[in-house]
Amino acid sequence: MKIKILANHKYIDEIQTIAQIFFPHTGFCYADEKTDHIIISKIEGGKVYCDVIINNKSYGHYSLKLNDQPFYLNEKRLVMLVLFYILKNELTTYTPWGALTGVRPTKMVREWLENGQNDAQVITILKNVFYVKEDRAQLAIDVAHSENRVAARIPGDYIGIYVSIPFCPSRCIYCSFNTESKPLSIEMQELYIKTLVKECSRLPQKNISSIYIGGGTPTALCDHLLEELLDALPNINGEFTVEAGRPDTITRSNLALMRKRGVNRISINCQTLNNSTLEKIGRKHTVHDFYRAFEMAREEGFDCINTDIIAGLPNEGPKDMERTMEGLVSLSPENITIHTLAVKRASKLNEHRIVKKLDYPIPQVFDIEAQLKIAHNMCLDRGMEPYYLYRQKNMAALFENTGYSVPGKECIYNIGMMSEIQTVLGVGAGAVSKYIEGTKITRNFNPKNLELYIKNMERRTIT
């Protein structure tokens, strides 16, 4: 199916985003291409108009005035809302976040709170204007308050640093990250780290609130390369995280090395405590491997450990989530991040969806919602609070990813980066630097391809 978009304004991407809520995996075309599916969106005469025609049938017409709107409804948001209002009345798609499509819904909520709205007023706006479900509106409020509390601990002139290690021992079926899952030669690993060390030499040496080494799986590096990388980074008194995401890459020696070099927070990610699911999604570890890695990390002195799990994994239901959460809670991690499965375009999971294979059936929307509710309630029951939240394209059932933390153990880097309240410098292949100057945000992207990144850095060194 292709939908033609006819518009006299610049908000084409926003029109596509709203349409994809109701028509997932849809293609779009413009101008002279022929199709029976058309969205007409116009701004004229002081109004925003929208018409939708699907299979030559009119889905209706809607308009909103541009002037005399509340402060939270700008021109772009009105363009999105008029389309959303038409489609929500014609289709039965379950949309827990309503017309909110951005990666950071809590950023907008924080702006409203700063503008003088109270919690009840914000929830009313979310529910009545944007059609956000009440439980999601309350979650957004809770996270916004947590973000504000943690943000107050970040000095105004301090930055975050992100380091990309795009290597993994295998590729998960849902993954489309910039990773090399095939075994790389030690020569390529050494060349990458050598290049990365050169880029790190340009980093500032002070006013750094956090360093986050992610990927990929940084602990997939052999010890001497991991040591070279850690030695190249600035010495800081703040938060220093390494994404040790795969339990099968965690060893006594690399844990001891990280602690010696100042790393004080790690992620050990199980995704599920169900061995059959781990095998199906392409993980090369078992539940026992996860428990063993977690225990070793505690023994090596790590007192802030995050673990990720995913709601909506193939063949899993609420009982599986309950079993996984019971296992995690028994370990008392300081952070738990609850992801919703996202079907990325470049993933194996999406390939199977396109050819309609049923090897990896994704749970239905209300099963996923039940899984998220179980995880949420069990985190709250052990005294954890939701402290950051973000969304991605193509998420199963249009839900969200939420980080929970024991109070005082929140990840500073996550808040600084996701809330866009501080500059974050990115180094390595695929890393993004984000410069914050007041309300202005400027991004600089490193090449994702390893060879291109290395060549690019060589040219910068020569010049």
The pLDDT tens digits along the chain (463 residues) read 899 999 999 999 999 999 999 998 889 998 778 899 999 999 999 999 999 999 989 999 999 999 999 999 999 999 999 999 999 999 988 999 999 998 999 999 999 999 999 999 999 999 999 999 999 999 999 999 999 999 999 998 999 999 999 988 888 888 876 554 455 678 888 999 999 999 999 999 999 999 999 988 999 999 999 999 999 999 999 999 999 999 999 999 999 999 999 999 999 999 999 999 999 998 989 999 999 999 999 999 999 999 999 999 999 999 999 999 999 999 999 999 999 998 777 777 777 766 666 567 788 999 999 999 999 999 999 999 999 999 987 787 789 999 999 999 999 999 999 889 999 999 999 999 999 998 899 999 999 999 999 999 988 765 5
Where in the chain is CATH 3.20.20.70?
159-361+410-445
- Which residue is associated with the tokens 């002081």? 46
The domain made up of 1-92 is a member of CATH 3.90.950.10 = yes
Where in the chain is CATH 3.90.950.10?
1-92
Topology annotation, domain 159-361+410-445 = TIM Barrel (3.20.20)
Distance of CA 231 to the CA centre of its chain: 29
Q: Looking at this protein, which amino acid is placed at residue 364?
A: Q
Instruction: State the Rg of the chain over Cα.
Output: 23
Distance CA 43, CA 45 (A): 7
Distance CA 111, CA 419 (A): 11
Distance of CA 409 to the CA centre of its chain: 20
Contacts for 352 with CB less than 8 Å, ≥ 6 apart = 173, 359, 360
DSSP 256-285: HHHHHTT--EEE---B-S-HHHHHHHT---
pTM: 0.94
- Cβ(306)–Cβ(333) below 8 Å: yes
- Strand bridging mode 208-215 / 38-44: unpaired
